């Protein structure tokens, strides 16, 4: 999955362009650039690849979510529905704009359960944020129907799923806004970075101003630019954008390699009756960055995860106990613990999350995910498949014998 596995001459060439002209900042110093505007070029490439009218690159995936929320007018007093299984950046971004994250159960897609979303909507709800974790997606058609009915914004957090599709559309482009992460371990990496896509001219105009201190970017004198509204600094550097340009060009090949390796492993595990697979919506195509399986119960899943390690299968995850990605370990959100004083609205809103999420626990307790790497040889993939089968069978046979 990680794009850094493919660093090569292409990335070096794009970075060298920036070093040769010496302008590392996105804006200003136009005469010195020798025609190189890497962040702008990455935005054009991203909008073309994702089939949207507009794209904005920013400093991280967290920044992408933050800017998207702010540019959609979401703030104090608003609630945003998000899943119990995601990365902490999802709720961090919501809190950063003054809104309240409302946790919601997942289903066998390991993303938002539409029925649970419907039940979580209140008069304060302004957006639904499905998170396409581990390369696959939510039931976007059902979620969009809910958003349309209740006049809500559908914001796709596609930070872990770039290249996947739903109903023939690139993930991120189905909703009102879509966000990507380009950090070091993502399928497309800038080292650090993120991106936002949309077909809304209003959101696009808000984004390019908001991410750069509110600058309107009119004229050729940065110091004379107006500031129509408050903004902050979420700019992406030219060096990071340069890496992203080369990486995005490789995306189709990356997806093909991931699918090939994924398929070998899935075919091998399909021979084990006790193994089932994460649900992918009927019109969805994942980006194959993870192979995610279900075991019959939590005990088998825990033991399977341990057995994979003892059999030499690395990069496998038991998310149920994970500090970063599952609500059970988010004490700093649920209590909450903050260096700065949280508003009364946020503090009272967060109380809604002080409950159990039994449906989520059932699915996550049974889940094991394995990263799909790009630099495996055919022999290594075949060996890995054999080790995975042996590991799982050792656990299953032990339980049967007991």
N-term to C-term CA, the chain: 38
pLDDT of residue 402: 53
Tokens of 323: 């500090």
Ordered by where they begin, the domains of the chain are 3-250 (3.40.640.10), 252-401 (3.90.1150.10)
38 is catalytic: no
CB 66 within 8 A of CB 75: no
Looking at residue 121, what DSSP letter applies?
A: -
Write out the E strands in 167-249. 169-170, 177-181, 194-198
Residue where the block lists tokens 């003892």: 310
pLDDT of residue 2: 84
pLDDT of residue 397: 81
Low-confidence ranges of the chain (pLDDT < 70): 399-402
Q: pLDDT (tens digit, 9 = 90+) per residue, 194-211?
A: 999 999 999 999 999 999
pLDDT of residue 400: 54
Q: Which of 38, 126, 144, 186 is catalytic?
A: 186
User: Cα–Cα distance between 268 and 246 in angstroms, integer?
Assistant: 34
User: Cα–Cα distance between 148 and 130 in angstroms, integer?
Assistant: 15
Q: How far is CA 74 from the centre of its chain?
A: 20
| DSSP string for 296-357 | SSHHHHHHHHHHHHHTT--SEE-GGG-TTTBGGG-HHHHTT--SSPPPHHHHHHHGGG-S--
User: Cα–Cα distance between 198 and 41 in angstroms, integer?
Assistant: 17
């Amino acid at each position: 999955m990680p794009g850094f596995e493919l660093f090569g001459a292409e990335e070096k060439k794009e970075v060298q362009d920036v070093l040769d002209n010496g302008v590392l900042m996105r804006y200003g110093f136009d005469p010195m650039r020798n025609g190189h505007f890497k962040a702008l070029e990455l935005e054009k490439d991203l909008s073309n690849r994702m089939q949207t009218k507009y794209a904005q690159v920013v400093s991280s995936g967290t920044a992408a979510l933050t800017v998207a929320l702010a540019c959609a007018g979401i703030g104090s007093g608003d609630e945003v529905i998000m899943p119990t299984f995601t990365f902490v950046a999802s709720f961090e971004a919501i809190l950063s704009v003054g809104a309240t994250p409302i946790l919601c159960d997942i289903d066998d897609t390991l993303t938002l359960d539409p029925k649970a979303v419907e039940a979580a909507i209140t008069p304060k709800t302004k957006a639904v944020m499905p998170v396409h974790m581990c390369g696959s997606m939510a039931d976007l058609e059902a979620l969009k129907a809910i958003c349309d009915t209740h006049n809500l914004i559908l914001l796709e957090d596609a930070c872990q799923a770039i290249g996947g599709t739903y109903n023939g559309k690139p993930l991120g482009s189905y909703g009102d806004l879509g966000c990507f992460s380009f950090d070091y371990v993502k399928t497309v990496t800038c080292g650090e970075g993120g991106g936002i896509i949309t077909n809304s001219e209003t959101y696009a105009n808000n984004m390019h101003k908001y991410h750069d201190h509110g600058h309107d970017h009119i004229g050729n004198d940065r110091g004379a630019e107006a500031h129509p509204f408050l903004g902050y600094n979420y700019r992406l550097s030219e060096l990071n954008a340069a890496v992203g340009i080369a990486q995005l060009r490789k995306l189709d090949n990356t997806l093909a390699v991931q699918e090939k390796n994924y398929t070998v492993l899935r075919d091998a595990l399909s021979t084990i009756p006790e193994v089932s697979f994460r649900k992918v919506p009927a019109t969805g195509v994942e980006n194959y960055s993870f192979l995610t399986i279900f075991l019959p119960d939590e005990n088998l899943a825990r033991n399977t995860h341990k057995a994979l390690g003892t059999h030499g299968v690395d990069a496998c995850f038991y998310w149920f106990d994970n500090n970063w990605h599952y609500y059970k370990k988010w004490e700093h959100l649920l209590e909450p613990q903050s260096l700065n004083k949280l508003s009364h609205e946020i503090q009272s809103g967060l109380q809604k999350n002080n409950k159990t999420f039994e449906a989520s626990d059932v699915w996550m307790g049974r889940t094991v995910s394995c990263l799909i790497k790009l630099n495996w040889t055919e022999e290594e993939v075949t060996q890995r498949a054999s080790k995975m089968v042996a590991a799982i069978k050792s656990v299953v046979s032990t339980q049967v014998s007991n």
